[in-house]
Amino acid sequence: MTHVAVLPGDGIGPEVAAEAIRVLDALGIGHSEHAFGGNAILAQGDPLPAETLAACREADAVLLAAVGLPELEGEAVRPEQGLLGLRKELGVYANLRPARAPGIDMMIVRELVGGLYFGAKGTRDDGTWFDTCEYSRPEVERIARRGFEVAAERGGRLTSVDKVNVMHTSRLWRDVVSELGARSYPEVLLEHALVDSFAMTIVQSPQTIDTVVTENTFGDILSDVAAAVTGGLGLAASASLGDEGPGIFEPVHGSAPQIAGRGIANPAAMLRSLALLLSHGLGRFDEAAALEKAVDTALAEAPTPDLGGTSTTSDVGDAVLRALEAARTL
Ligand code: NAD
Ligand code: IPM
Ligand code: MN
């Protein structure tokens, strides 16, 4: 029996997860919910309880909404550590973040379990605090390979983004990507870009971008920029994949504490993440395509405040279920 582990998390997380759960139920897909993030810290002192990790490992796929509580920001034990820990434990090193709007169709392939967020960090005797960015050749090669493969299935163009003019790790990054491209993916047109000016390219000419591969921190930041130019964080979905085992399917956005509890969060990013789960995680391609389409229909019919409308989170869910029924997917 197919089983999805659902991690609703914090803030708007449970609100948008509820709409995804309605779709899972309508499709007859089994699921269970597990404590994760800030709520798990408050209840049991651990953002990634052992029970939650075990359930994720056993599932066919993980559907994660968002974590983060303002009262825990900057504390020693934080919700975000649970998210980083889960990604590391499941080995999901490749985070695919599509950004689409009329005339724009880009895909950011973000390295997800290395670099600055996972390197040695601490405080020295002289009072200096530090984080370090480290990458090994195999870590760069596996994400580069994923980038080339995604590009080959799309428009055949890959932009590798780094900071080779300053960062030591970027020199390794650029060498590995170039070598792999020349050796194994001659059909993919490879370009390199520096992260600062590439951020400007995303804002000024997003329609020129096909597939992007980049390291963890740059991908984190650039994917929010890409979301901003394609309708906002309420729409941006992602798939976090390894070589085997369950993937994590998660919106790009966070727990949005300013709008939490009001029932107005846009569930589209979450529902599109579920569509990625159906296709990449479960191989249910027809249902994935139908859900993508249903979300587009629902957004046109019932836009939430982030899109200039007045619909609620559950209005969008209602419209999605209606559209799936109309398409005879249910
Ligand atoms: P955020 O993504 O939560 O919010 C940024 C802006 O986008 C806010 O204006 C918010 O209202 C809006 N927004 C986000 N999602 C929306 C949605 N579905 N519908 C409508 N509007 C939406 O980023 P932040 O405010 O920087 O972070 C808040 C918390 O979330 C922090 O604790 C952070 O660590 C956490 N966070 C978690 C994840 C995750 O769980 N994957 C991702 C990013 C941030
Ligand atoms: C994201 C988030 C996370 C990240 C944080 C909350 C750990 O910003 O998924 O984009 O940096 O990966
Ligand atoms: Mn982010």
pLDDT tens digits, one per residue of 181-190:
999 999 999 9
Known active-site residue 220 = yes
pLDDT tens digits, one per residue of 76-95:
999 999 999 999 999 999 99
Look at residue 330 in the predicted model and tell me its pLDDT: 77
Task: List the catalytic residue out of 163, 185, 210, 315.
Answer: 163
Rounded to whole angstroms, how far apart are CA atoms 59 and 48? 16
Known active-site residue 224 = yes
Cα(70) to centroid of ligand 1, in Å? 11
Q: Which two tokens stand for residue 159?
A: 């932009």
Mutate to test the pocket of ligand 1, among 253, 266, 295, 312 (most ligand atoms within 8 A of CB): 253
- The answer to whether 116 and 109 are in contact (CB under 8 A) is no
Cα(257) to centroid of ligand 1, in Å? 7
Rounded to whole angstroms, how far apart are CA atoms 208 and 231? 17
Look at residue 329 in the predicted model and tell me its pLDDT: 78
Look at residue 211 in the predicted model and tell me its pLDDT: 99
Task: List the catalytic residue out of 105, 224, 296, 318.
Answer: 224
Q: Which ligand is nearest to the CA of 224?
A: 3
* % of the chain surpassing 90 pLDDT: 99
pLDDT tens digits, one per residue of 261-302:
999 999 999 999 999 999 999 999 999 999 999 999 999 999
Look at residue 16 in the predicted model and tell me its pLDDT: 99
Residues with CB under 5 A from ligand 3 (ion): 220
Instruction: Determine the distance from the C-alpha atom of residue 187 to the mean position of all C-alpha atoms in its chain, rounded to a whole number.
Output: 27
Ligand 2 neighbours by CB, cut-off 6 Å? 80, 83-84, 220, 252, 254
